[in-house]
Chains A and B, each alone.
Chain A
């Protein structure tokens, strides 16, 4: 049972425990204080032992009662983006949408109706999925908006059954060393930071690897200033030291990784018994040093070799670990230092500490996977963890919900976000002609703004946006539907499980929907019958949650709607199935990526790296990091937060500002071939020379001109596509900056 934090209830107030679905990851629990039907205050809602809230969470009432909230459905007048709107009734809005959907579906097929969402409870997602499935429509997978490369790396190594495999490298009882790779949990993931902080207070050392000196870096024992996009090389350099000094964990590599499995030199595939024994099995094969012969890996009383080269018949084979060792040998500390900008001495000390200080936890942030080869970065960090035995099997858990019940009327086509561009523009892989945007802000948050405006949006025959505010995306809609805040509707909040917490929570309706706003669930269920789908999604949100909980999976045992009303619930089953890779082991060598030459975590330069020819024209790397003052583009309109972070700023090092004659506060222009943005410079020492940063979430209207997304690109990495979803390489962008005259 949750420990209740005393909430000070003023006269006539009641406190309702709810939870935030906002896309900042942690899904904080909240106590919503209500008086006379008005949300008056938000307080931290307890998880057992901890209560968390942030400046944004506390400011929720300002978002709920914001004067700019959309109050009723709107229909576009004039051309798209012109900003002329007409108030219409819900009936007119929904009838129009249904008619247009039927028309477009009849002309181009159901899959031309695409739906993209973000920032909602899991019931809203399932209802939307169910509806899209019933329409034979296309559901756009949103992870590619910057978060899907790391998943690819994790799926390669762990075959992660869920989103991220962060638990494998972080779930230690008492980590003795915490290494944060390319992220700033102090500002952006409070649950994760609390765990790191606790470990640090328990005596653990903290290492923070980041090109920027962030608030997290300020808490570090050792700050490792790295060139963006080179984390893979750093991990390889560390492995070089580990292997050179024989600090690797041989029993772990033998028992839990593909290290001893023999790899055929001719094909790069793992040797199977059938490859050299007629009628043999598909079993993986190791070289037994006791019998000096190949043996199936699961034979008892063998001593598999990790190194060497062996002839089996005509086949030349080497253990996967030998291949890793050979690759890693190319990254001695000196060379790694040249690539990463981290001193050879720091690389060596870090590697030795990481191997010797057990357990050492690796917290991999989204930052270091937002480059074109960010998937390999996770692959490399996981490999480093594996060869030093810094992998945890403790207490992993997740819920298995009854998603399938919502797909009774059909299964949607799935389209990764980064492939939406070409689906709309040129009909590849299949044409998309209408887009339903639910609480997502793709025009503002997805890459290549100018292309989006000039080449993507005009190809869409129909755009519907459901949002609380007139976002950048809503400005280009044909119909806008006002949705209510999460305090105004019931939903289920699923733990992201990215090393934060594993609690399932109820988002309880606290107040009635404001003005004419409706929940996403109500909007979709009102469309169902209009689309001619009968007898589907008729239940109340509470009934639908009960249905969603009833998967019958052991993890759901005892998890009921009633129990969720009392507070957050942990999954009943606590053990993680072992690695769900093809081999059932941690695969630092993967057959799946042999075709791409990435079977090992090789180092590849960023697409727009400082070594590329493009860097002669555009020498600065642009980062667009997350901030504590906003959650993506949400909260940018809240005065309380705006008071603390009033306007966009281009952060740059004095080393880059001086030769460009830029002073702190000057109006500057960042530009490349794709576009430009104009804003004030903020010159400070916390930026690595050669790297600039504009914290994301600002809208075009917040800038003097342009937008940071005009600089970014949507180039697809085929590896991501093969493993999971292509990622937006938002931190793999070259620009230059110049001072401009005041307008």
Chain B
């Protein structure tokens, strides 16, 4: 069975606490920028709702590298620094990266950040080094509300596969046919009293 590592993020559980963002900074040693950012689906500014008071809504959308099946970044990279492992994880070979940032433009999910000090691009690598030692990605460990599930999407019995099939799961920008390995579970509709 082919391995396909990925995440399922439950937006009903996500509170926008941004523990994942800081966890990523720690694990990947990023002083500024992060491999996982949390966008607010609401008003134009972070942590604000949309609508008109008091008929409002707001939710949070953590976005990391989607580890696409067809990664546009890989195709855009002139130095072949971006490659995909057999388990689906898309990685950057920092030695090959010339800092041209073509990938920043190519990625439909704005998953890359440019590290000015090292003059290379960086992004989520699904904590592949932790995985090799049997530990989950650090964002998933630190998520205070259990919103980030990690697992093998290639195994139909895995928790992530079951969540993807059981719920109304979706991926971002499916029209681009990139085949993201991050799936989202939508927020639930409010119920009447």
List chain A positions with a Cβ less than 8 A from chain B: 5-6, 8, 41, 43-44, 51-55, 57-59, 61, 177, 186-187, 190, 193-194, 197, 205, 207, 213, 215, 217-223, 225, 349-350, 352-353, 357, 628, 639-641, 643-644, 653, 655, 664, 682, 684-689
Contact of B18 among A644, A653, A655 (CB under 8 A): A644
Determine the distance from Cα of A44 to Cα of B136 in the docked complex, in whole angstroms: 13
Contact A221 B192 (CB under 8 A): yes
Report yes or no: B23 in contact with A218, Cβ–Cβ below 8 A: no
- Residues of A with C-beta under 8 A to B21: 55, 644
**Across the interface, do A653 and B47 meet the contact criterion of CB distance under 8 Å?**
no
Measured in the bound complex, the distance between the Cα atoms of B144 and A644 in whole Å is 18
| Contact B56 A215, beta carbon cutoff 8 Å | no
Stretch at the interface among B9-17, B158-166, B167-175: B9-17
Interchain residue pairs with CB less than 8 A apart (19)? A8-B130, A8-B133, A8-B135, A55-B18, A58-B19, A58-B26, A61-B26, A193-B145, A197-B13, A205-B191, A205-B193, A218-B57, A220-B190, A221-B191, A222-B193, A349-B193, A628-B18, A687-B53, A689-B53
CA distance A57 to B22 in the complex (A): 9
Contact A653 B53 (CB under 8 A): yes
Total contacting residues, chain B, CB less than 8 A: 44
Partner of A639, one of B13, B31, B50, B130: B31
Q: Are B25 and A640 neighbours in the complex by a CB distance under 8 Å? A: yes
The verdict on B92 contacting chain A, using a C-beta distance below 8 Å, is: no
Beyond A190-B145, A641-B22, 5 additional contacts (C-beta under 8 Å) are A41-B26, A53-B144, A61-B26, A207-B193, A643-B32
Contact B193 A221 (CB under 8 A): yes
- C-alpha spacing A738/B190, complex, angstroms: 37
Across the interface, B17 reaches (CB within 8 A) one of A51, A221, A628, A684, namely A628
The contact of A218 among B44, B49, B130, by CB within 8 Å, is B49
- The closest CB in chain A to the CB of B59 belongs to A218
Name the A residues within 8 Å of B12 (CB-CB): 219
**Measured CA separation A61–B58 after assembly (Å):** 32
A8 to B18, CA, bound (A): 21
Q: Which residues of A contact B130 (CB under 8 A)?
A: 8
- How far is it, in angstroms, between the C-alpha of A52 and the C-alpha of B146 when the chains are bound? 10
**Is B56 touching A58 in the complex (CB atoms < 8 A)?**
no
- Whether B22 lies near A55 (C-beta < 8 A) is yes
Q: Which of A58, A197, A628, A640 sits near B145, CB closer than 8 Å? A: A197
B16: chain A residues at CB < 8 Å are 215, 628
Question: Pick the contact of B142 from A6, A44, A643 — CB < 8 Å?
Answer: A44
Assembled-state Cα–Cα distance A5/B141 (Å): 9
Min CB gap A637→B, angstroms: 15
Which of chain B's residues have a CB closer than 8 A to the CB of A687? 53
Is B51 located at the chain interface by the 8 A CB criterion?
yes
Knowing A6-B135, A225-B53, the reply to whether A53 touches B142 (Cβ < 8 A) is: yes
In the complex, the answer to whether A190 meets B144 with C-beta atoms within 8 Å is: yes
Q: Nearest chain A CB to B186's CB is how many angstroms away?
A: 14
Rounded to whole angstroms, the CA-CA distance of A41 and B23 in the bound complex is 9
**Contact B19–A685 (Cβ < 8 Å):** no
Q: Could you tell me the distance between the alpha carbons of A38 and B141 in the complex, rounded to whole angstroms?
A: 22
Q: Given the complex of chains A and B, what is the CA–CA distance between A674 and B134 in angstroms? A: 59
Chain B residues near A43 (CB-CB < 8 A): 141-142
| Known contacts A223-B54, A686-B53, A58 near B23 by CB under 8 Å | yes
Flag if B49 contacts A685 (CB, 8 Å): yes
Enumerate the 6 nearest inter-chain pairs by beta-carbon distance, A residue then B residue, closest first. A225-B54, A684-B48, A218-B58, A353-B193, A8-B135, A58-B22
User: Does B45 reach chain A (CB closer than 8 Å)?
Assistant: yes
Interface string of B59-94 (1 = CB under 8 A from A): 110000000000000000000000000000000000
Kindly state whether residue B43 has any CB partner on chain A within 8 Å.
yes
Of all chain B residues, the one with the shortest Cβ separation from A695 is B47
Give Cα distance in the complex from A44 to B23, angstroms.
11
Residues of A within 8 A of B192 (CB): 221-222
Bound form: Cα–Cα A221–B45 in Å:
23
B133 CB contacts on chain A under 8 angstroms: 8
Q: Cβ of A215: which chain B residues have Cβ within 8 Å of it?
A: 15-16, 47, 58, 60
Known A-B contacts A58-B23, A213-B54, A686-B49; the reply to A221 vs B18 at CB < 8 A is no
Residues of chain B with a CB closer than 8 A to A187's CB? 15, 17
| Chain B residue contacts of A177, Cβ below 8 A | 193
> B144 contacts which of A54, A218, A222, A223 (Cβ < 8 Å)?
A54
Q: What are the residues of chain B within 8 A of A55 when measuring CB–CB?
A: 17-19, 21-22
Closest chain B residue to A220, Cβ basis: B190
The answer on a CB contact under 8 Å between A682 and B193 is no
Q: Is the CB of B45 within 8 A of A684?
A: yes
Residues in B whose Cβ lies below 8 Å from that of A190: 17, 144-145
Q: Which chain A positions have C-beta within 8 A of B32?
A: 639, 643
CB-defined contacts of B15 to chain A, threshold 8 Å: 186-187, 193, 215, 219
Q: Whole-angstrom distance from the CB of A298 to the nearest CB of chain B?
A: 39
Tell me the bound Cα distance from A207 to B193 in angstroms: 9
CB-CB under 8 A from A352, the residues of chain B are 193
A28 and chain B: residue at smallest CB distance: B144
Quote the shortest CB–CB distance from B21 to chain A (angstroms). Answer: 7
Q: Mark B143-163, 1 if CB is under 8 A from A, else 0.
A: 011000000000000000000
